[in-house]
Amino acid sequence: MPMSVMATSNARSFSWEIFPPMPTCRVYCTPVYQDGHLFVMGGCSQAGIPLGTVEMLDVISQKWAALPPLPTPRAGAAAVALEKQVLVIGGMDSEQSPLASVEVFRTDEGKWEKKAALAQQSMGISAIERDGTVYALGGMGSDTAPQALVRVYEPAKDHWQPLPSMPTPCYGASTFLQGNKIYVLGGRQGKLPVTAFEAFDLEVKSWTRYPSVPSRRAFASCAMAEGCFFSLGGLQQPGPHNFYSRPHFVNTVEMFNSEQGVWSKLPRSVRMREKRADFVTGYLGGRVVAIGGLGNQPSPLGSVEGFSLVRRKWELLPSMPTGRCSCSSLQAQQRLFVIGGVAQGPSGAVEALCLRDGV
């Protein structure tokens, strides 16, 4: 983001674009954006059953189309866009078991194909695409143990190759691509949140460990902005280092400075305005944004706030039209899409926080 945009955009620069709701309400769905189209695949229904449903939103015409269903219904899968293909990896099947299957949707032909499966069943994989190559990191196996697996997929060869394992096994981690490195932050091991912060160098094929996230919080959210990494909010659980007898929501903000290689001790004044967990984060208009989630209110939050890297403070942004938690999200073309999730039950809402034209 150019510094001029960072410096000039203000809270009034942001607005919400409300799209027609998905025909199918769902949570833990898998979104991919390609050429002005938002694909939403699988997820869980009201009854908690993984779906095969695939729907596509034309962002310009704001119309939904039903596409051929996934050959294998799944929830919590990973996916990446590859030219005229959408690759869907792992997830959980209708028997509540992790999947090894990998399927690709050919957008030009409108049909699904099965591809080379993973060597192990896995859900909660984090996937990154770089130069047409796909990296799948971590996951949870059929024995419910977290995995340290790293696999690389080259579509032309239709073959998964193992790479050096992650130092810390986990699933559901946040992954960020910067330069030649994939950064892996957080995630879970069973009921325990992971504080490990590690990076895989794609050139030399080796891992580097960075200082761990200072505090352990479940359902925290992570973001990357201007070479800094953020660990935000979450649910603080009872432990030897705090005196609370019950889990409680926090507005913690922890920031890692890549140049200095340390987590900064930020003043209390830099904490988020709202205590929240299980929320969406992104980086838009020079701000790290925090959207929705669960807090101390009886229903999911609709509040939105942004941390200006220039002003070093949080400001209220326009509220999300439909308060939700457990949302899927995706950032593309100056829009941060918030997709599905839970309101009263599984939601069909699709809304995007965006910057107004000319900002």
pTM over 0.85: yes
> Which residue pairs, CB below 8 angstroms and at least 24 apart, start in 35-41?
35/107, 36/60, 37/107, 38/330, 38/337, 38/339, 38/350, 39/67, 39/79, 39/86, 39/105, 40/328, 40/339, 40/340, 40/350, 41/70, 41/77, 41/79, 41/86, 41/88
Alpha carbons within 13 A on the beta-carbon side of 334: 14
**pLDDT by residue (tens digit) across 89-141?**
999 999 999 999 999 999 999 999 999 999 999 999 999 999 999 999 999 99
Q: Which residues contact 69 (CB under 8 A, 6 or more apart)?
A: 52, 53, 54
Q: Where are the domains of the chain?
A: 219-358
Residue 336 has pLDDT above 60, yes or no: yes
pLDDT for 238 equals 76
- Structure token digits, residue 213: 């996230």
Q: Which CATH architecture has domain 219-358?
A: 6 Propeller (2.120)
pLDDT for 4 equals 35
**pLDDT by residue (tens digit) across 137-192?**
999 999 999 999 999 999 999 999 999 999 999 999 999 999 999 999 999 998 89
Average pLDDT of every residue of the chain: 93
Mean pLDDT of 335-355: 96
Residue 333 has pLDDT above 90, yes or no: no
Integer Cα distance of 13 and 106 in angstroms: 37
pLDDT for 179 equals 93
pLDDT for 191 equals 85
Q: Please give the DSSP secondary-structure letter assigned to residue 346.
A: B
